[in-house]
Chains A and B, each alone.
Chain A
């Protein structure tokens, strides 16, 4: 079961998350930053609830009213050209 991938984008496994939590006695936020779980191409849209659940299980931190890992723009991958103001680039 530890080999099961949780974050598809970064191929972070359940084992990676558990080991990181244990090794660094880390908070939910720190685990995400260390493993990159939920921080790949999709911005965590697919695995965010799953990652949050594992972290809750490991750290015992209950979800608060704040979204666990702050959502940062851009919320979709965009090319530098788009950020630079060019349109119709797809």
Chain B
């Protein structure tokens, strides 16, 4: 769908879209145009962009879901500030918007949580057992 087709210029009940100032912004380094009165989310969708970020841990693609600030799925980094909801943020000329990325999760264990030591004593015991196991091998 081209930019023009995404915009609802004429509407049978709401009437014609009033003329709005054009604003230029970037998303992940590419330059796009939107209108004054757009949110970052509406300007991006009007440009055919649906994916706004990836799940920080799993890397699965995400876009707008609720469009009114409840779900935080559309969070982007705007002018260096992270966690900004694209659906609630009015578009401004010259805005630099970037999508989120997968982030390391050092605290997530690959192991079953029950296998982790709960006390220092348990930790020492498990470490000893582990060393004993290693020397056997």
Residues on A facing B (Cβ under 8 Å): 8-9, 11, 41-42, 45-46, 77, 79, 89-90
Report the separation of the CA atoms of residues A15 and B71 in the bound assembly, to the nearest whole angstrom: 22
Q: How many residues of B contact A (CB 8 A)?
A: 17
Report the separation of the CA atoms of residues A45 and B66 in the bound assembly, to the nearest whole angstrom: 10
Q: Is the interface of B mostly helix, strand, loop or mixed?
A: loop
Indicate if B45 sits at the interface (CB-CB under 8 A).
Answer: no
Contact between B72 and A11, CB atoms less than 8 A apart: no
A-B contact count (CB 8 A): 30
Indicate if B84 sits at the interface (CB-CB under 8 A).
Answer: yes
Q: What B residues does A8 contact at CB under 8 A?
A: 62, 65, 71, 73
Q: Is the interface of A mostly helix, strand, loop or mixed?
A: loop
Residue of B nearest to A43 (CB): B72
A42 and B72 contact, Cβ closer than 8 Å, known pairs A8-B65, A90-B84: yes
